[in-house]
Structure 1
Amino acid sequence: MDNGESSYRRFLAGDNEGLHEIICAYRAGLILYLNSFVQDIHTAEELTEDTFFELMKKRPKFSGKSSFKTWLYAIGRNITAKYLRKHKKLSVVPLEEQDNFSDEENIEGDYIKNEQKRVVHKAMHRLKLEYRQILYLSYFEGFSNSEAAVIMKKSSNQIKALLYNAKKALRSELERSGFEYEE
């Protein structure tokens, strides 16, 4: 039994600490995942709060057919889909707001790493929404193809093809922007 599932069971039994544990464990990752849809970190935070509020208020039944994290991310995705249908407009977070350079000894190395991350971030946001989603779920959140299939409501074969095409599209975007791969 994974920690999220046991915490949720405790919450359903009346222990509010269980919900607190779920929020602490999954909040940051869920915000970043939902941000891949809305491209506005503040909206993603609100949608994450809505996801946890739905757990608290509606107390949906967890069937155990997938991992708790997969189930939770699917709830967040559904809430975000409702939000997007209602608002139908995406806004972009300016990349300049995301530049944070440290005062550590290796400022040049940090600068290069941050610049590479920025280039990858820009390239990912030029991809189709589905490509951004599958890349985020697979590489940033570490979901398996079957878990990503549940979250995205697709078959495993569709996920494999989507992941292949997303990586190909990202590579093409990176090459177009002059990105150099490290050996």
Structure 2
Amino acid sequence: MTNDSELLAAAMAGDIDAFQRLFAAFQPQLKSFLYRLTADRHDADDLTHDTFVRAFDKLKTYRGEAGLKTWVFRIGANLARDAQRKKKPWPLDAQDRARSLAESRPDIQTAFYRAHVEDSRGAYDVAEHIDFCFTCIGKTLPIEQQIAVILKDMYAFGRKEIATVLSMSEGVVKHLLHDGRKVLSQVFYERCALVNKNGACNQCSELAGIYNPRQAKREHLVKLEMVRAGERTDDAEKLYALRAGLVKFIHPLNSQGADLQDVIMQCTRMAVGEKDRL
């Protein structure tokens, strides 16, 4: 059996099939990372493809100072960063705007129902919508903070690896993580009705009431550790850590509700002015 070192040597000698085998080991994670940054499946697909092409083209410059996965993620993150810099950060009320838009547009409501009923991954689950919410709120941050927080809290990258991805010092990465988490912790605590009874956003429960009525019942929602913890503490940072722990194992493109959640995401992109139609 060919090991990774032999595959890497072959890839660096120009064997694209060998590089494809190495790339395949972390391609799903890379694509989900890029989706969390772009909130668009097509963009994530295109960026993943472009990352592969760019990485293979530059592979002869790889010197092994960082792991191949980290090196490739650096290329993908740079491509995503260049693309996202042309766009404005999302407003904190993006989900509120999406709700208003959907309520005023029967065609969008029809798209939601069609995804729920016809698509193979159109199930609704509260935990998956919390993952959607993580992406949505995350997009209010500057792109460098997004990358740092997502790599650390969703994909367990170390600070040194993140520093390599961002071409920054570990000290800067430490500040990016601190500042990004602080903002997200406070926003989630202030807005999320699951952890704060005065929270402004109850979208996950509202949608559950439509697409999964059983989960809309309080006795099912309290099974989420985050909800139970919200009843015991007002520590926003602890609640953020529980939220991150809940969603880090959800693949936003392959989960059982990925198709429905993506339609909701595209509605949100419409609401913030990033696209004109679903």
Shorter-chain TM-score tier:
0.7 to 0.9
Structure with bigger gyration radius? 2
The answer for the alignment partner of 1:66 in structure 2 is 66
Is 1:152 the counterpart of 2:152? The answer is no
Mapped to 1, the partners of 2:60 and 2:88 lie a distance apart of 29
Alignment gaps of 5+ in structure 1 = 103-109
TM-score by length of 1: 0.76
Q: Specify whether residues 91 and 135 from structure 1 end up closer, same or farther in structure 2 by C-alpha distance, changes over 3 A only.
A: closer
The answer for the alignment partner of 1:13 in structure 2 is 13
The percentage of counterpart residues that share the same residue type is 22
RMSD value, Cα: 3.1
Q: Secondary structure at the match of 1:59?
A: helix
- Residues 132-171 of structure 1 mapped to structure 2, 5 A cutoff: 132-171=146-185
Mapped to 2, the partners of 1:29 and 1:144 lie a distance apart of 16
Q: Secondary structure at the match of 1:119?
A: helix
Mapped to 1, the partners of 2:37 and 2:134 lie a distance apart of 17
Cα deviation, residue 153, structure 1: 1.5
Is 1:114 the counterpart of 2:128? The answer is yes
The answer for the alignment partner of 1:23 in structure 2 is 23
The answer for the alignment partner of 2:244 in structure 1 is none
Alignment gaps of 5+ in structure 2 = 99-110, 196-225, 230-278
**Is the Cα–Cα contact under 8 Å of residues 73 and 165 in structure 2 kept in the other structure?**
yes
**Is the Cα–Cα contact under 8 Å of residues 36 and 135 in structure 2 kept in the other structure?**
no
**Is the Cα–Cα contact under 8 Å of residues 40 and 91 in structure 1 kept in the other structure?**
no
Cα deviation, residue 5, structure 1: 5.6
Deviations 1:16-75 (A, max 9, x none): 431221231122222222334433221121121111112334433211111111111112
TM-score by length of 2: 0.52
Mapped to 1, the partners of 2:88 and 2:179 lie a distance apart of 23
Q: Residue 47 of structure 1 aligns to which amino acid in structure 2?
A: L
Q: Which has the higher contact order (CA 8 A, sep 6+)?
A: 2
**Is the Cα–Cα contact under 8 Å of residues 137 and 143 in structure 1 kept in the other structure?**
yes
Mapped to 2, the partners of 1:63 and 1:138 lie a distance apart of 24
**Is the Cα–Cα contact under 8 Å of residues 149 and 177 in structure 2 kept in the other structure?**
yes
